[in-house]
Amino acid sequence: MTTDMKQDIQGKNILLAGVGGQGTLVASEITARAAVYAGFDVKKSEIHGASQRGGPVVSHVRFSREVQSPLTPAGEVDVLIGLEQLEALRWAHYVRGNGFIVLNTEMIPPAQFGEEFIAYAQDIEGFLISKGFEVAAIDAGSIARELGNSKVINVALLGAASLRLGFADEIWHSIFTDHFPAKIRDINIRAFAMGKDAAKGH
C-alpha cells in the first residue's frame, strides 16, 4: 500500500464475538493480517472459554499508526462482528455510539439453555438499532449453504465488515491466497464478495 492510500484509512478498533466452531479466531487472524498488509501497527487479543462445546469466543483487533494495548475499552469499538446474535448483544456495550455492527442472523442457543427452557432474546437487530448503532444484518448461513460450505460464514461476515474497514479488495484477496489452501481459496473469495454485497445499503 502506498503512503497516500494509507492516509485514507483511519485506525479502527474491531471486536469479533461468536461461539466455538464458527471460525471467530480465523476471522480475527485474517482481519489482523489485512491491517498488517496495509502497513499499520496491529494488536490482537483472544478471549475464549469452552469453545469446543459452543462456548463464547471473543477477539479484539486494533490497528492504527501505533497501538499500545490489544484490548479495546468499552465504548470504543468501531466495528463489532457478531457471528452469533446473543454474543453480539452481549458485547454491544463495547461499541461506540455510532458504531457499526455486522449481525449474523443465525441464532445458536447457549449450552446452558439445555436443562431449563429460557426464551432466546427476540428482535436483537431492532434493539441494537434503537440504541443508535448502525446494523447490517446478514444471513451468513444462507450464503454458506448457497456455496455448499458451512465454514465460510465467518468470511461472509468479514465481507460485510470490510465496507467499514477501508482495505482494498486486493488486500483481502492476498490474505486469502496466503491463508487458505488452493482448494478452498475461491469459495472464500466468493463468500467474502457475497457478504459485502449483502451489507450494501445498510
Per-residue pLDDT of the chain (202 residues), as tens digits, is 433 445 457 799 999 999 988 999 999 999 999 999 999 999 999 876 554 556 889 999 999 999 989 999 999 999 999 999 999 999 999 999 999 999 999 887 665 555 555 566 788 999 999 999 999 999 999 999 999 999 999 999 999 999 999 999 999 999 999 988 999 999 999 999 999 999 987 6
**122 vs 16, 17, 49, 114, 138, CA distance in Å?**
21, 18, 25, 18, 16
In this structure, what are the phi and psi dihedrals at residue 84, rounded to the nearest 5 degrees?
-145, 140
Cα–Cα dist 114/122, whole Å: 18
- Contact between residue 20 and residue 52 where contact means Cβ atoms under 8 Å apart: yes
Q: Which domains does the chain have, with CATH numbers?
A: 3-108+122-199 (3.40.920.10)
- Grid cell locating 6: 494509507
Dist CA 163 CA 167 (whole Å): 8
